[in-house]
Amino acid sequence: MLRTEFAELLSDMYKQTLHAVNDLHVEPVPATLPTPTRSRLIGILDRWHFEPYKLSEDELIACTLLLFELLFRIERMQDVVPVSMQQISAFVHHLRRIYRLENSYHNFEHALDVLQATYSYLREAGVVPPVGLLSFPNRMWKSKKVFDDGSLVTTLCPEEIFILFVAAIGHDVGHPGFSNHFMKTAESPLSKVYDGRSPLEHMHVQLLLRVMHQHDLGTIFNDQLKGPHLRKLLLTSVLATDMSVHSDFMDRLQRYLSRQQSTLCFRQTVLMQAILKCADISNPSRPYPVSQHWAGALMHEWAKQASYEKSLAFKPSVQESTSPLKEAKSQVFFIDHFAQPLLALTTRAIPEMKKFLHESDKNRNLWMTRVQELEARLPTPEDDDAPEQGADDFINVFPLTLPHSRQAMELRDDSFLSPSNGSTDSGLTSPVASEASFSMLEEHAAIRAAGKLGVRQQKIINRNSWCATSVPINHFTPTQQSTSSPLAHVHESSNGSSPTYAA
């Protein structure tokens, strides 16, 4: 029975990731980025005061492509990474469609933010060129660093840098907007597949790899010598972003810094994990106004999860309130226990990152001052406001992340809409199916049917949803207009030339 259940879960995981990639794929429309727009976005990307949430969707895509274009100005990059910007453009557009718009934090804006932070760290360390280099057509760049000269950051070859950029932009793809802890409590199928060990991060990697292969970026893994190593680097880097394994990583990095004797493979792994982890939680080290935005976005997403947990009769596992005081206190706690220690340890390995540690120090003091100010005044009713969360607001997430009870309910609801769909799942799609129909023996059929439900409804869903009819999106920030051509609305008159992407 256990083997059958596990086999069916793996089968459903395979099918649903395949459906997710295939059903959300569209052929990009060629577009040219106007020169004035290109120059403006290059300037935006070159600042640590980076605010992707103020960019249009078209500009988010364009910024992502500019950072990847920058990599191919590095000598030897094109030789060892045999892909074109057209392939990368198709890959980025496809990946973007699998990120949920409904998430106030774990969305494509966050993915670009992490990519830009990754670029910023490597630029400070002299491993990648400044993005301003893109203002000079055809100019190439070579690092002054000597490979593996004793400093950890010099262990990265062009291939590893490329994989790190891919991991950064795809590290949260398909994120449902709730946590691993929630899925373990809810006994969601995805959590069962991975035995509760970083199920979301494993899902992100599986989706990322599928999209890479769909657009032939997976050719980088075909090299018999380095291919398996690069694939493992991608996996281990994304898995390290699970905060439940944070202390294990800190111990591993501390041990390396204490003795600094290890294989090249280990040094590359721990370096890429450190950079991606720092980038993933870089918000507290951004300028304070930027840090404030991301703190509010995360609190909003947490409050929605807490509301969803209560609708399922679960004890909330995250903060329910979005009050300014709780937000400020949570930031002080997070900086003290996670962001600051990680940055401090990483700075020992990459001294050039010290400026980001100083910014985190400043923000910690500002957040602490805010705590004191808020505690000094009388609370108001608005301080405990939390966003309303309907039971169906998570209906369009990746099906295997949902609790079985929700999948079964959606299945019963759908049976009234389409009593017969050709399925042989006994009784499960019948309008008169009883509660007894949803026994353990039929649990796997329910999972399969949930996946089929996703395929049937793809034509009427939000364009980056998984398996549900469209529902109103409660955005944390003002909704931005989307278009079928992601660069269609990035218009500024110009007679200059710029690269043509498959946009």
In the prediction, which pLDDT does 322 show? 78
* Structure tokens, 502: 């498959």
Predicted pLDDT at 476: 55
Give residue 445's pLDDT band: very low, low, confident or very high (50, 70, 90).
Answer: very low
Domain boundaries, the chain: 1-283
Mean pLDDT is lowest, of 31-35, 340-344, 346-350, for 31-35
Per-residue pLDDT band for 32 (boundaries 50, 70, 90) equals: confident
Summarised one tens digit per residue, pLDDT across range 379-390 is 665 555 555 555
Alpha-carbon gap, residue 139 to 189, rounded angstroms: 50
Q: How confident is the model at residue 313 (pLDDT cuts 50, 70, 90)?
A: confident
pLDDT of residue 467: 35
- The per-residue pLDDT for range 3-20, each reduced to its tens digit, is 555 556 556 656 666 666
- Top pLDDT among 16 and 97 is at 97
CB burial string 349-372: b at 16+ within 10 A, e below: bbebbeebbebbbebbebbbebbe
pTM, two decimals, is 0.80
For all residues of the chain together, what is the average pLDDT?
A: 80
With a CB cutoff of 8 Å and minimum separation 6, the contacts of 330 are: 295, 299, 319
Query: How do residues 427-440 score in pLDDT, each as one tens digit?
Result: 322 223 333 333 33
Q: How far apart are CA 255 and CA 235, in angstroms?
A: 22
Average pLDDT in the 203-217 region? 96
Burial of 195 (0-12, 13-18, 19+ CB in 10 A): exposed
The band of 121, judged by pLDDT with boundaries at 50, 70 and 90, is: very high
Q: Within 10 Å of residue 403's Cβ, how many Cβ atoms? A: 20
Q: Residue 465: pLDDT above 50?
A: no
What is the Cα 351 distance to its own chain's centre? 27
Lowest mean per-residue pLDDT among 134-138, 169-173, 190-194, 310-314: 310-314
The lowest-confidence range among 45-49, 321-325, 423-427, 451-455 is 423-427
CATH of 1-283, one of 3.40.50.720, 1.10.1300.10, 3.30.540.10, 1.25.40.420: 1.10.1300.10
